Chain A
């Protein structure tokens, strides 16, 4: 659609150092098609030999206009877009959006639905951390970890498929509850996973945690202090690895997280290795939450009875005129949310995933904004990568755990 643009050094004067303008340092593009950028990220590197003087991320290659698209759809239809944001945390995205809608229209959610939401969100967190571990280890040339992690991730995706029929784009969590109850095989599948997985984490740790090659590539690399991380809006494991104890599941619990016992792992070092340790421990904690939630999974309905907002069950439609009307209204016109705006956030595997939702009383959201954690985490990366070697920059990108769908929306 557009011509290639030629950029001269004058256009970049305000973002590179004086030495680049004089030709003392070299400007080099890394990406947008570079295997270590985890998608389509372009980094403009200013290099002094092999030392990174500055690193300027250029994003937007995966911008799909999800916010604009959501404004043109009803609340139910718009949810399908949420899966496509951060494609490693689809259940978490559904949960964030659903909680925002529920906050806006003040909708109740049955306890069973809340518990299942927690189980799935935590399983998804494990799956997301597994992809992170696989790719981050691959970046520092640990090939075998990649294969093992994807094997276990498949087990989690099988559970998601069992519930929703989809491995990734689930749209399983809906305003007012869930799409439908979990099948009978669900409990056994999750219990098998809980039994199998801790040993697998030990296997990954055996490959990496005390591996001298891995330590060489990660210890003391890409440091950021807790205060800097906060000022840059960093959240999630990256922030916790810099010694700031901030987890929305603990601090501002949603979906009944307050009932479960778990710890928020933190490390004071703030380097790549600390981020690795925090995420490994988070997988253990997620398993703990899943197990507790499964043990006291209450019986009962999984969808709210408020049929002004939640479609009635299929079985009622044949016998109740009222239910038929609600069904018809909800699937043709949608529901009218009250006027107002809310901000609600959940802890995604990458940090604070927030949704700003504004309604003008129509069945379509007036404005949806996604506060995506990768966007801010990526912004802090140039600070971490000042003065490192190019090879270390690769390890740093891996440790930040960006998902470009999450950055570009």
Chain B
């Protein structure tokens, strides 16, 4: 682990009662959902100015926790990286928003709501962002099938055309 990162991680470990793990040089802390706002405040206070990425992973059919929400922080001043993972249950997945601390979390959280159906309490504008507003389901969930289009040839063109969903007039 990086020498500058060590004291920061130790401080966070003590404050939240967790232990860090390391894989291929990426240092990860697993933090419970209710403490994520406090954790983000602390992480920002330690000089991590940039929320580089925010994403989620679906471990379906596992239910508790079904999701991991992953935050990647970057410290521009100290040139460090840190990852925080938050386990979220499958029934009514919900997390407090961090968009008040890192403002780019606003769209990132909208994306997670759109793609995984994870709600963010206190988010100012939790609408779908990439899919159309009236879309049903959350595409990046593992129980959401990958769609495909049937290739049409001359011999079966009309047959497939009949069952194709077109936009209404």
Contacts of B24 in A (CB 8 A): 103-104, 106, 340, 342
Residue from A60, A366, A380 with most neighbouring chain B CB atoms (10 Å): A60
Among A2, A59, A65, A232, the residue within 8 A (CB) of B134 is A2
Give a binary string over B119-132; 1 marks a CB under 8 Å from any A CB, 0 the rest: 00000110011111
Interface residues of B in 97-141 (CB under 8 A from A): 102-104, 106-107, 115, 124-125, 128-135, 139-140
Contacts of B53 in A (CB 8 A): 343, 354, 356, 369, 371
Interface residues of A in 354-391 (CB under 8 A from B): 354, 356, 358, 366-367, 369, 371, 375-376, 379-380
* Chain B: interface residue total (CB-CB under 8 A): 41
Q: Is the CB of B72 within 8 A of A354?
A: yes
Contacts of A409 in B (CB 8 A): 130
Using known A-B contacts A59-B130, A358-B57, determine if residue A231 contacts B76 with beta carbons closer than 8 Å: no
Q: Is the CB of B104 within 8 A of A376?
A: yes
Q: Which range contains the number of A residues in contact with the other chain?
A: 35 or more
The complex places the Cα of A352 from the Cα of B51 at a distance, in Å, of 11
Shortest C-beta distance, A194 to chain B (Å), equals 31
Q: Is the CB of A2 within 8 A of B132?
A: yes
Contacts of A354 in B (CB 8 A): 52-53, 72
The complex places the Cα of A63 from the Cα of B130 at a distance, in Å, of 6
Contacts of A379 in B (CB 8 A): 103-104, 106-107
Q: Is the CB of B57 within 8 A of A244?
A: no
Q: Is the CB of A68 within 8 A of B134?
A: no
The complex places the Cα of A172 from the Cα of B140 at a distance, in Å, of 28
Shortest C-beta distance, B68 to chain A (Å), equals 9
Q: Is the CB of B103 within 8 A of A232?
A: yes
Q: Is B165 an interface residue (CB 8 A)?
A: yes
Chain B interface, >50% SS class: loop
Give a binary string over B72-105; 1 marks a CB under 8 Å from any A CB, 0 the rest: 1010100101010000000000000000001110
Contacts of B146 in A (CB 8 A): 68-69, 71-72
Interface residues of A in 150-185 (CB under 8 A from B): none
Shortest C-beta distance, A201 to chain B (Å), equals 29
| Smallest CB gap from A234: residue in B | B104
Give a binary string over A90-113; 1 marks a CB under 8 Å from any B CB, 0 the rest: 000000000000011010000000
Contacts of B74 in A (CB 8 A): 352
Q: Is the CB of A59 within 8 A of B129?
A: yes
Give a binary string over A249-285; 1 marks a CB under 8 Å from any B CB, 0 the rest: 0011000000000000000000000000000000000
Q: Is A216 an interface residue (CB 8 A)?
A: no
Shortest C-beta distance, B15 to chain A (Å), equals 23
Q: Is the CB of B51 within 8 A of A233?
A: yes
Interface residues of A in 49-87 (CB under 8 A from B): 59-60, 63, 65, 67-69, 71-72
Contacts of B42 in A (CB 8 A): none
Q: Is B155 an interface residue (CB 8 A)?
A: no
Shortest C-beta distance, A147 to chain B (Å), equals 35
| Smallest CB gap from B74: residue in A | A352
The complex places the Cα of A356 from the Cα of B49 at a distance, in Å, of 19
Q: Is the CB of A244 within 8 A of B132?
A: no
| Smallest CB gap from A57: residue in B | B107
Contacts of B134 in A (CB 8 A): 2-3, 5
Using known A-B contacts A230-B50, A343-B53, A371-B72, determine if residue A60 contacts B104 with beta carbons closer than 8 Å: no
Q: Is A341 an interface residue (CB 8 A)?
A: yes
Give a binary string over A103-128; 1 marks a CB under 8 Å from any B CB, 0 the rest: 11010000000000000000000000
Q: Is the CB of A5 within 8 A of B76?
A: no
Q: Is the CB of B52 within 8 A of A340?
A: no
The complex places the Cα of A255 from the Cα of B134 at a distance, in Å, of 44
Q: Is B39 an interface residue (CB 8 A)?
A: no
Q: Is the CB of A235 within 8 A of B125?
A: no
Q: Is the CB of B102 within 8 A of A1?
A: no
Q: Is B168 an interface residue (CB 8 A)?
A: yes
A interface residues, Cβ below 8 angstroms from B: 1-3, 5, 14-15, 59-60, 63, 65, 67-69, 71-72, 103-104, 106, 227, 230-233, 235, 244, 246, 251-252, 340-343, 345, 352, 354, 356, 358, 366-367, 369, 371, 375-376, 379-380, 408-409
Give 14 A-B contacts (CB < 8 Å), ordered by A residue.
Answer: A2-B132, A2-B134, A14-B124, A65-B139, A231-B103, A233-B51, A252-B81, A340-B23, A341-B70, A343-B81, A376-B107, A379-B107, A408-B130, A409-B130
B interface residues, Cβ below 8 angstroms from A: 23-24, 26, 49-53, 55, 57-58, 70, 72, 74, 76, 79, 81, 83, 102-104, 106-107, 115, 124-125, 128-135, 139-140, 146, 165-168
A71-B146, A104-B24, A375-B107 are known; give 10 further A-B pairs, CB within 8 A. Answer: A15-B125, A65-B139, A227-B49, A251-B79, A343-B52, A367-B55, A367-B57, A369-B55, A371-B55, A379-B107
The 6 closest A-B pairs by CB, nearest first: A233-B104, A371-B53, A369-B55, A60-B130, A63-B130, A230-B49
